Chains A and B, each alone.
Chain A
Amino acid sequence: MERSEFLARVGTAQAAAILPDHPSEDPGQWVPDLPDVDLVGRFIEMAGKMAAEVHTAPVDDAVGELVERYGAGNYMSWDADRIDGLDRLPEGLRRITTETPRGAEGRAEHNAGYMDCQLGITGAEAAFAETGTIVVRSGPGQPRMASLVPLVHIAVLRKDRIFRSASHWAADPSARMSEGSNVVFITGPSKTADIESIVTLGVHGPKHLHIVLV
């Protein structure tokens, strides 16, 4: 249907709509009033409840320890200069390329390389203490896939980027929700409860989520 025709039909319908009382202006920005807490402490507590593990060791040490723990042989990553506090990417592991070909040719072959990726390393530009959530944005040197296809996701987060809640973050000028084609809020590892409401981790995304605080 033509756009103008579609919108005209909706316009006629909304004029006839019988709706309960509502504000005539957009309700706008709103931030819930919550008692003060230690944001870092609250974040560690809530992320833990969401089955993520939070680390406070220096980034390079924490990453090295996790590479060893999972016996990882390959990884994918954001560019090192996109991750606060990370001096070097892990050595002795194969890095899977994330630069995806454009167009119909070669994409499936490229994607096939992701099949058994073990480790993904990314930054996180913000976090919500109240829900144990990290915010991961796509951009140059920041592929979406690194937080999605590996079995283990390591995200590096600056402590001073922890906000109280999603609404607190959205009200901050740094939020810029529509910058980058993808912003994802990640709360714990991938999971499902589709079979008998039994929680199972690692469905399509990572089975393990590690957050390194710097």
Chain B
Amino acid sequence: MTPVTFRERSVEELDTQKVVNIGKATRRKTADRIKASAAYPPMEQMRDRAREIRLHTLANLSEYLEQFAGSVERAGGHVYFAADAAEANHYVSQLAADRGVRSIVKSKSMVTEEIGLNHHLESKGLDVVESDLGEFIVQISGDRPVHIISPVMHMDRYEVAELFAEVLGMEYSDDPVALNAAARRHLRSIFLGADMGISGVNFGVADTGTITTVTNEGNARLTTTTPRIHVAIMGMERLVPNAGDLMVMLEVLARSGTGQALTVYTNLMTGPRAFDEQDGPDELHVVILDNGRSKALASSSAEILACIRCGACLNVCPVFREAGGHAYGSVYPGPIGAVLTPALFGHDEWGDLPFASSLCGACKDACPIRIDIPSLLLEQRAESMNRRGGEFAWLKPGMAAYRRIATNPTLWRGFLAAGGVFGKATGDWLTKLPFQAGNWTSTRDLPAPATQSFHSWWKEHRG
């Protein structure tokens, strides 16, 4: 049976080589981020600035969207507003049919994963090839991205070597240089022959209609230059007001995402190829996607839409490090995914994700926008409990009893004294608790309660 909950999925991931690889890579990325941030003194000020820009934009989103769409059109691009995944997918496949498109090349984009665009286009008989090295490996292995920035963080080079030997017909080599060279050659001929290129959008600039992609490999530049049609899919929240704001976001994104001062190719595109230019796409289409975002915006978790998808919170999260990205079952894993997924796609299916957190707060600390992820996780938990109250009915009598004891000093002291007796009887660690409490001790031990409460100790010694 296919696992349907975080708990079921995570059981399959724990202690595998996959999560060992993820653990290593996330620790390295975290160290790189901290180093890059410390190396640039204005970084903390830039984070404050970035937060202001993002929140201001969200609070005025409909005005900025209208301005952005007008700017894109003035620059010669087309704009389509898609209410949901189906509308966005239909627009792209219809455009491909109208223009006689046969082959499509894509650069890495989480929003296209979100709407299942590849699957949709393939069902219409179109060839779609992922061009980011990591996404290409995901595609040819039939896997799913495990991380929003590093899709094959869970694989080691030996797995990739076997895959390339089988799929690309190259001689077996586990040297990353040789693997890269084989992918470059294979993908280049696809780039040069593609009719349509599909990219995501890191940021859209409202006052100029500029869209940006950031990649280290250069695949987004090829995707948006060699084919005659460029389609950019953008989540509706990914705007900034102007060029000055964009610079702040770009520097903050690179340092937080990969620990780079700037990404190798920060690509700014305004409209299609101009009449006097030698290359670039003949047509530019920008698809602006809602798909649950207006619902999230109207909620108490609106702040989550300030996210710039750097992945820093995934890298520091103890749950992500141990369970990996696939345990979340969502395109968006980790702390951000545990808020975003139910906020966008509903609690009926995803209501357990906000519970996949120890609320340690490392995510809030790492977030370049200082999004209060722990508070948003609590908001989402409350929402889940409201909707799924029945399933957690067993908690209610226990919590009611606890409330009664904890709010009455006499009962509370008696409770503590009972704990002391219990502690005396069981030694330092409790390894097996009865009933629901056994959920805790089935995977870890619990320190036994002290034999004397602080309250009674204080009374004896200082009272």
Contact = CB atoms under 8 A, between A and B. Distances in A.
Given A14-B58, A14-B60, A195-B176, A108 B192 contact: yes
A205 B297 CA distance: 38
Contact of A187 (B45, B192, B262): B262
Interface string A104-143: 1001100110110000000000001011110000111111
- Sorted nearest first, the 10 A-B pairs with minimum C-beta distance are A205-B218, A22-B55, A32-B42, A203-B217, A194-B134, A111-B192, A178-B208, A29-B244, A13-B298, A17-B302
Given A6-B83, A18-B299, A27 B66 contact: no
B41 interface: yes
Given A1-B83, A20-B303, A32-B42, A7 B62 contact: yes
A57 interface: no
A197 B153 CA distance: 8
B226 to A, nearest CB: 6
A87 to B, nearest CB: 22
B277 A138 contact: yes
Q: How large is the interface on B (under 10, 10 to 19, 20 to 34, 35 or more residues)?
A: 35 or more
Interface of A: 1-3, 6-14, 16-30, 32-34, 46, 50, 98-100, 102-104, 107-108, 111-112, 114-115, 128, 130-133, 138-145, 148-149, 165-167, 169-171, 175, 177-198, 200, 202-206
23 contacts: A1-B87, A19-B58, A22-B52, A26-B241, A28-B245, A32-B42, A115-B189, A115-B192, A138-B280, A144-B280, A171-B244, A177-B243, A177-B246, A177-B268, A181-B270, A190-B265, A191-B217, A191-B264, A193-B150, A195-B180, A198-B157, A204-B221, A206-B218
Given A13-B295, A170-B244, A203-B216, A143 B264 contact: no
A32 B62 contact: no
Interface string B178-203: 01100110011101110100000000
Contacts of B217: 190-192, 203-205
Nearest to A18: B300
B1 interface: no
Pick the most buried of B100, B131, B273: most chain A CB atoms within 10 A of its CB. B273
A146 B73 CA distance: 28
Contact of A139 (B56, B277, B302): B277
B118 interface: no
Given A177-B268, A203-B218, A166 B262 contact: yes
B49 interface: yes
Interface string B206-249: 00111000001111011001101000000010000111111110
Contact of A182 (B66, B177, B250, B280): B280
B159 to A, nearest CB: 9
Contacts of B24: 197
A170 to B, nearest CB: 5
A190 B225 contact: no
Nearest to B189: A115
B160 interface: yes
Contacts of B55: 19-22
A112 B191 CA distance: 10
Contact of B52 (A11, A23, A114): A23
B193 A181 contact: no
B352 interface: no
Nearest to A133: B262
A34 B241 contact: no
A21 B250 CA distance: 23
Contacts, number: 311
B269 A181 contact: yes
A76 B270 CA distance: 24
Given A11-B62, A143-B279, A185 B265 contact: yes
A126 B276 CA distance: 22
Contact of B61 (A14, A33, A138): A14
Interface in B293-325: 294-295, 297-300, 302-303
B52 A99 contact: no
Contacts of A204: 131, 184, 187-188, 191, 217-219, 221-222
Contact of B278 (A100, A175, A178): A100
A7 B247 CA distance: 27
B340 interface: no
Contact of B268 (A28, A112, A132, A184): A184
Contact of A200 (B52, B180, B188, B210): B180
A165 to B, nearest CB: 7
Contacts of B35: none
B271 interface: yes
A190 B30 CA distance: 22
Contacts of A26: 53, 56, 241-242, 245
B377 interface: no
B107 to A, nearest CB: 9
A85 to B, nearest CB: 22
Contacts of B208: 177-178
A14 to B, nearest CB: 5
A141 B277 CA distance: 7
B297 A22 contact: no
A7 B66 contact: yes
B444 interface: no
A206 B184 CA distance: 11
Contact of B298 (A16, A24, A192, A197): A16
Contact of B180 (A17, A143, A202): A202
Contacts of B129: none
Nearest to A100: B279
A75 to B, nearest CB: 15
